[in-house]
């Protein structure tokens, strides 16, 4: 089912999410709904549970849906993701379904290692770089109540009204 995506300044976007203890029927249903919501947007490469009002640590991301081809892991379902290492720094332009009117320049790590549980609650560790690393950092930020607009260096020079 396609869910309604919360938009800034909804206070639910700013709360910290709870860890998921096991994969229940409710978690499985939420995973399906997040996939449906991401695909329905037509342009989204990722979505986090807080964006639909669920304060749990769950991300769905697929860097292969991006505009430019990049090395990636395809469709990822990440339960309780945690960035365990990072390196480098890169400035990139980001947008978000929860902040539909703006894009902004954000500094992110160029390469990250993420530990998470998959849909069967098996522990996984992946290394991501480039666009996929940026995407995962952006989505994991949502789990901590952080939006990309919180990370722009200067709202005056690095935040841009989206062209329609």
Catalytic residue among 54, 94, 132, 139: 139
Instruction: List the alpha helices (DSSP H) in 72-157.
Output: 130-143, 148-151
To the query of whether residue 54 is one of the catalytic residues in this protein, the response is no
DSSP 33-47: HHHHHHHHHSS-SEE
- The whole-angstrom separation of Cα 21 and Cα 28 is 13
DSSP state of 13: G
CB 151 within 8 A of CB 144: no
Distance CA 152, CA 99 (A): 13
* Residue numbers annotated as active site: 139
């Amino acid at each position: 089912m396609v869910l309604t995506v919360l938009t800034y300044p909804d206070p639910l976007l700013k709360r910290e999410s709870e860890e998921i203890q096991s994969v229940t029927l409710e978690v499985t249903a939420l995973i399906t709904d997040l996939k449906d919501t991401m695909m329905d947007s037509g342009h989204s490469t990722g979505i986090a549970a807080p964006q639909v009002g669920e304060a749990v640590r769950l991300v769905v991301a697929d860097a292969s849906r991006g505009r430019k081809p990049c090395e990636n892991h395809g469709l990822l379902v990440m339960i309780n993701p945690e960035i365990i290492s990072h390196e480098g720094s890169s400035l990139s332009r980001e947008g978000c379904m929860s902040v539909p009117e703006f894009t902004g320049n954000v500094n992110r790590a160029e390469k990250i290692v993420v530990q998470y549980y998959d849909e069967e609650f098996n522990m996984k560790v992946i290394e991501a770089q480039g666009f996929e690393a940026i995407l995962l950092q952006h989505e994991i930020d949502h789990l901590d109540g952080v939006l990309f607009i919180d990370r722009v260096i200067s709202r005056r020079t690095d935040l841009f009204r989206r062209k329609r």
